[in-house]
Every structure is written in C-alpha cells, then in structure tokens.
C-alpha cells in the first residue's frame, strides 16, 4: 500500500477529522506529524498512536503564523527525513448572519481557513517541487460547494480553498512537479467546529442539524486514506462526504 512509510503532516490534528485521520493513517503504516495549538492533546494522541505500534510526532502549530508553518515542515523533515503529504485540515466555523456584523470572526475565519491553507502550501511546496512529488489534501466543506444562510464568510473561505487546490493541481501538471491535490467537502461530521459559533440563532440551528444527522470523523479519515493510497500517477481531486440521511 502506498500509505505505508509516507510522512503525513496534519494540521488541526488535536480533534475531529485531524485526529481520526492521524490514527487511521498511522495504523496503516504512515509516519504522522501532528500540528495544532493544543499541545497537550497532540501529546496524548501521539502517545496513543505509538502505544498502538504506530509512528507519530507532534509540534505546536498556529496555522495563521507563516514561520510556524515553515518550522512545522522542517520539523517533520528533520524527524523522518522527508515530507510526502500535507493535510491542511485546521478550520473554524463561527457562523452568523452578515447583519450581525461579527467582523472579528470574519477575520479569524479568513486567517485560519484561507490564509492558514496558503501558509501551509507555502511551507511545503518548495519541498514537493524539489523532490517532484507530494500531495496536498484540504478540508473544505459542503459550504464550499453551495450557499447556506449564516455561512457567507465561512463558505467564502471554503470556496476559495477549492479554487486553490484546483489551480495548484493544474499548475503542477504544467510544470511537471507531479504534485497531487485532493479537496474534501464534509457535511455534518461530528467535530468541535460548532464550539466556535457565538451567534445564538446560528448555533441553535446548527446544533439541531448536527444532532439529527452527524456521522463520526473516521468516515472522513477513510476518504483521506483513499486519496493518499492511490498510485502516484493518479490524482483524485474532490470528495463530498456526509450522512446518507442528511439532505445537504
């Protein structure tokens, strides 16, 4: 399997999709490098992976800081000698109507959901270009495919991620650098995203949706593993994943 021995860097790895992906990929032989702001959780997850026979390292990471992203990639290369996959998974979803004018939250979403992805690309792209191989995977959202009330800014950041990944794939093909990209569009997945919502009406509506439909993050992790496990000459670009019973 092509997952085995690959060095996979994961942002937003302290919970949810990031944690589930780290555990699954490590169980299949990947060397995972975990990044997030909660270093206590990263340590706990990495120790659990190693206790189960896997290989894991961790480093505290704020994706909004360009230098921390570069240091994260350098740390992974120093630890394992190479960098094969960058899973740009960190994100925030403080949904609210535009009329609420929660501009501080708008800025945070742009900083994490969009600029955080750009910083991750900038950190890993030179390595991938030099070795003429590598893969970027990003977590977008079904809100990156269609519009939802209360999700204008969140959706805008996720639409932007879709554009970034597709152009990166095209440019890599044109430049002969063999970099693969995959974008994942989750619907209601059990994560901590809802904890960032401060608008009362938006939070109540989202809680009702998730309570009715959500599936566990390991369902997304299996898609991440599928994308990585494809032959190096094969790119699978986009995956929409959500509960069968949710009319998203």
Which residues are catalytic, by number? 154
Question: Is the alpha carbon torsion for 92, 200, 246, 27 positive or negative?
Answer: positive
Question: Is the alpha carbon torsion for 104, 107, 109, 111 positive or negative?
Answer: negative
- The kind and range of the H/E element at 164 are helix 152-175
Q: What is the chain's Cα-based Rg? A: 17
Q: Which residues contact 193 (CB under 8 A, 6 or more apart)?
A: 16, 91, 92, 93
Instruction: Give the Cβ contact number of residue 37 at 10 Å.
Output: 15
Instruction: Give the Cβ contact number of residue 247 at 10 Å.
Output: 7
Instruction: Give the Cβ contact number of residue 177 at 10 Å.
Output: 17
Q: Which residues contact 88 (CB under 8 A, 6 or more apart)?
A: 11, 63, 116, 117, 120, 121, 136, 137, 138, 139
CA nearest 154: which of 99, 110, 104, 209? 110
**Full strand arrangement of the beta sheet holding 238-241:** 55-60, 31-36, 7-11, 85-88, 134-139, 179-186, 238-241
Please tell me the distance from the alpha carbon of residue 78 to that of residue 149, in angstroms, as a whole number.
Answer: 45
């Amino acid at each position: 399997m092509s997952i085995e021995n690959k060095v996979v860097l994961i942002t937003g790895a302290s919970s949810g999709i990031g944690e589930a992906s780290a555990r699954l990929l490590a169980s299949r032989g990947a060397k995972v490098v975990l990044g997030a702001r909660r270093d206590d959780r990263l340590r706990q997850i990495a120790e659990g992976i190693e206790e189960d026979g896997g290989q894991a390292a961790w480093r505290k990471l704020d994706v909004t800081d360009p230098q921390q992203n570069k240091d994260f990639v350098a740390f992974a290369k120093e630890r394992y000698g190479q960098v094969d996959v960058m899973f740009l998974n960190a994100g925030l979803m403080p949904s609210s109507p535009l009329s609420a004018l929660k501009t501080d939250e708008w800025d945070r979403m742009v900083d994490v959901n969009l600029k955080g992805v750009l910083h991750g690309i900038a950190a890993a792209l030179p390595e991938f270009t030099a070795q003429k191989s590598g893969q970027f995977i990003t977590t977008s959202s079904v809100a990156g495919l269609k519009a939802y009330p209360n999700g204008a800014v969140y959706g805008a950041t996720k639409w932007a991620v879709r554009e970034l990944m597709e152009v990166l794939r095209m440019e890599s093909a044109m430049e002969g650098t063999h970099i693969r990209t995959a974008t994942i569009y989750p619907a209601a997945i059990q994560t901590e995203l809802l904890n960032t919502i401060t608008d009362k009406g938006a939070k109540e509506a989202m809680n009702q949706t998730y309570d009715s439909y959500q599936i566990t993050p390991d369902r997304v992790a299996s898609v991440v593993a599928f994308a990585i496990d494809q032959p190096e000459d094969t790119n699978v670009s986009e995956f929409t994943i959500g509960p069968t019973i949710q009319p998203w």
